[in-house]
């Protein structure tokens, strides 16, 4: 007997991830709870980090790359005086310093760490070095030399100073920025050492804590299922297209939508609702919509509008839909 594959479920669950488990642990737990065929997450949180962890089911997994690239917000506590192997509380102490910066000293170093910067990732990270994970090498006593990587840090705000040993920051950043590295670098710039002692993600793309459910708010006990509620979800899901709300909308006709879904391209000049001339470059993504329904994403490539990633397929238009792959109107020239 083959392994049960699960059921087709589409949508986003925004989890307020607790401290302790990994992001993958939570995906596996919720995939089992929802009996979902396909699931993934929109951006890793460390075991010692909590907060917004978007979990995608079914069609929503197609939009994960756009959540991974999206702007994120964090709040973290930096503890001065100890550097650690992991740059957080989990690691062993590497060095100590008696220096404790003043608020004025902290504020003075933040501008140089903001904007497009080069950042050295933590040695204990999931980056691959010669086919091995950096954290596996570090745990084996072979910590790799990780080169600086480009990072975009939009803002760093000092929001609280509970005592001389700690400082609390709000940060808005782009993809792939390590808060542990940022905390380490703030301390070093202030002439001391430090590590993150508390880390919480408060926003990830369009999702924030107002959308998030704790694990206790999700029904994980399958023993309570009955014949009447066997198909009920353990928690409500957000629509798969919710991840794309920050991308400009493009209204398309049924015929235009069919062509995009079938993988055919369209001359932008032939669209019922033309694209602005200033927004026809290759870098612009559009959310193709029929009425209030999102078909997926499209963009202009080589002068023609093409599908970038579709949420819908030909079944959306009905089983008697015209095959646009075989019609002259749908042919690329």
321 is catalytic: no
CA 176 to chain centre: 10
Distance of CA 250 to the CA centre of its chain: 24
159 in Cβ contact with 169 (< 8 Å): yes
- Cα dihedral 300→43→240→208 (10° resolution): -110
21-44: burial string, b at 16+ Cβ within 10 Å, e else? eebeebbebbbebbbbebbbbbbe
Contact 190, 205 (CB under 8 A): no
Pure H helices in 111-213: 134-139, 179-189
3-state secondary structure of 285: strand
Catalytic residue from among 10, 46, 87, 88: 46
Nearest to 178, CA basis, from 61, 74, 297: 74
Q: How far apart are CA 244 and CA 258, in angstroms?
A: 20
Token output for 178 = 């390590």
| Cα-based distances in Å from 21 to 16, 17, 27, 42 | 12, 8, 10, 16
Q: Among residues 76, 79, 153, which one has the least CA distance to residue 111?
A: 153
Alpha helices in the chain (DSSP H): 23-34, 64-68, 103-109, 134-139, 179-189, 254-261
* Active-site annotation, residues: 46
């Amino acid at each position: 007997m083959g392994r049960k594959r699960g059921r087709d479920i589409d949508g986003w669950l925004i989890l307020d991830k607790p401290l302790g488990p990994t992001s993958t642990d939570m995906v596996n737990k919720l995939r089992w709870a929802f009996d979902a065929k396909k699931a993934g997450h929109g951006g890793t949180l460390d075991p010692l980090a909590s907060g917004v962890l978007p979990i995608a089911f079914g069609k929503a997994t197609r939009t994960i790359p756009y959540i991974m690239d999206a702007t994120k917000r964090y709040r973290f506590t930096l503890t001065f005086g100890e550097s650690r192997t992991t740059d957080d509380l989990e690691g062993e102490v590497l060095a100590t310093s008696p220096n404790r910066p003043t608020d004025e000293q902290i504020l003075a170093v933040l501008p140089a760490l903001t904007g497009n910067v080069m950042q050295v990732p933590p040695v204990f990270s999931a980056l691959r070095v010669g086919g091995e994970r950096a954290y596996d090498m570090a745990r084996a006593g072979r910590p790799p030399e990780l080169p600086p990587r480009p990072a975009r840090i939009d803002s760093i705000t000092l929001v609280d100073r509970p005592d001389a040993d700690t400082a609390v920051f709000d940060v808005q950043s782009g993809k792939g920025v390590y808060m542990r590295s940022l905390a380490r670098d703030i301390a070093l710039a202030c002439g001391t050492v430090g590590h993150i002692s508390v880390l919480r993600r408060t926003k990830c793309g369009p999702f924030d804590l107002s959308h998030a459910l704790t694990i206790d708010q999700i029904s994980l006990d399958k023993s309570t299922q009955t014949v009447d509620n066997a198909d009920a979800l353990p928690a409500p899901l957000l629509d798969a297209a919710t991840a794309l709300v920050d991308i400009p909308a493009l209204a398309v006709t049924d015929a235009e939508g069919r062509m995009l879904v079938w993988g055919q391209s369209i001359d932008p000049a032939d669209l019922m609702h033309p694209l602005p001339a200033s927004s026809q470059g290759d870098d612009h993504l559009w959310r193709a919509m029929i009425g209030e329904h999102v078909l997926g994403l499209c963009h202009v490539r080589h002068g023609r509008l093409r599908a970038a990633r579709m949420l819908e397929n030909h079944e959306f238009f009905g089983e008697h839909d015209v095959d646009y792959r075989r019609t002259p109107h749908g042919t690329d020239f």
